[in-house]
Structure 1
Amino acid sequence: MIWDYPQPFTLKLTPTSSDIDGLQHTNNAVYVQWCEVIGWAHSEQLGLSLNNYQALNRAMAIRHAAYDYLLPSVMGDELILGTWIVASDGKLNMERRFQLIREADEAVIMRGQWNLVCIEISTGKAKRMPAEFCDIYLPAIAK
């Protein structure tokens, strides 16, 4: 597979009938949901779960999201979704990228990008990343 960045955190997916829209392809909103699923799974694998976020009263919230839908996928396609953290200032901001590939022909189906900001959960206001975030997320930045 040709990935945009090295060593993605991956998740294998196969669209089911509930993912298919009236045009008989995977609905674009499903890709957005899958990005949320893999984003959390990657964070948890690195060592930060929702419980950690709540205990620290901090979260990485999506400030801006963009998705490029390049090709359709259909029910039964075997897909691999990859994600990476690609940048962070170690203060407030972090960037996560996504790439969805169809296994059969290695075609790129979708690319996505999230620009994230660290917030204090209790107020919703931007707050500096706690040391725990920096210790876990910064070493995970794709190089």
Structure 2
Amino acid sequence: MKLSIPDADVLWSDLPAERRHERVLTVEPEHLDEMHHVNNTVYLVWCEQTARAHAGRLDMGTDALRTLGALPVARQHVITYHRPALRGDRVRVRTALTLHAGLRSVRAYALDRVNDGDAPEGVRLAECQTEWIWVDPVSGRPKRAPAEVARRFGFGGER
């Protein structure tokens, strides 16, 4: 399945708090490449770190998920870059769980520069979407996510 980037801004305000998370970070020298802007792989690292922070906030980190008997593994990432981030920029990374259905979950991410003087909504740097597949932590085979995962992430009885 080929993923397309969702409109994360529309989704953000419509989703329950359990399905979204954000953090703000500052671009440091180690994030830069030889062109003196944030390397494209760093954006993906920031997305994954934000997803992990989201799961941790809900007590659904790796250990808790392993105990429940299913772990998410990335199947596909789609990233669109709009503008570079530079040393010292403040970057807001938002993630929202947009789909949770059986074997699959999808997260959308929006990365915005939020420096003083920027518009209140920030300046869009990149958008990402990741399709996650749930697997059994022992066998590695695909497995439906436990109902507790859906409940904790604000999907209620949806599966």
Q: If the length of structure 2 is used for normalisation, what is the TM-score?
A: 0.81
**Which residue of the other structure, out of 47, 54, 75, is the alignment partner of 1:63?**
75
- The amino acid across from 1:113 in the alignment is Q
Change in CA separation of 1:109 and 1:11 when aligned onto 2, cut-off 3 Å: same
The residue aligned with 1:3 is: 9
Q: Which residue of 2 aligns with 1:135?
A: 151
- Over 3 Å counting, the alpha-carbon distance change for 1:127 and 1:93 in structure 2 is same
Residue 46 of structure 2 aligns to a residue whose secondary structure is helix
Once the two structures are TM-superposed, the CA of residue 46 in structure 1 deviates from its matched residue by: 2.2
In structure 1, runs of 5+ residues without a counterpart are: none
Report SS of the residue matched to 1:6. Answer: helix
The reply on whether 1:100 has 2:111 as its aligned counterpart is: yes
Comparing 49-58 and 62-71, the one that deviates more: 49-58
SS at match of 1:88: strand
Q: Which moved more, 1:128-137 or 1:58-67?
A: 128-137
Q: 1:21 aligns to what SS in structure 2? A: coil
| Residue ranges of structure 2 left out of the alignment (5+ in a row) | 1-7, 14-19
The amino acid that maps onto 1:92 is L
1:44-123 equivalence runs, <5 A: 44-89=56-101, 91-104=102-115, 105=118, 106-123=122-139
Q: Deviations over 1:89-114 (max 9, x none)?
A: 2x111110000001132110010001
Correspondence 1:42 to 2:65: no
What is the TM-score of this pair, normalised by structure 1?
A: 0.89
Deviation at 1:138, TM superposition (A): 4.4
- For the pair 1:124 / 2:140, whether they are aligned, the reply is yes
Structure 1 CA distance for aligned equivalents of residues 61 and 25 of structure 2: 22
The alignment-based identity, stated in percent, is 24
1:15-34 residue pairs with structure 2 within 5 A? Answer: 15-34=27-46
Residue identity opposite 2:11 in structure 1: Y
Displacement of 1:35 after TM fit?
0.7
- Give the 3-state SS of the residue equivalent to 1:52 in structure 2: helix
Give the aligned length. Answer: 138
Is the contact between residue 100 and residue 155 of structure 2 (CA under 8 Å) also seen in structure 1?
A: no
Cα distance per residue 1:107-141 (max 9 Å; x no partner): 1001000111110011111011112112212438x
Secondary structure, aligned partner of 2:144: coil
List structure 1 runs of 4+ shifted beyond 6 angstroms. none
Render the CA deviation track for 1:49-106: whole Å, top value 9, x for unaligned: 11112212311111111111111000000111101001122x1111100000011321
Q: 1:103 to 1:34 in 2, by over 3 A?
A: same
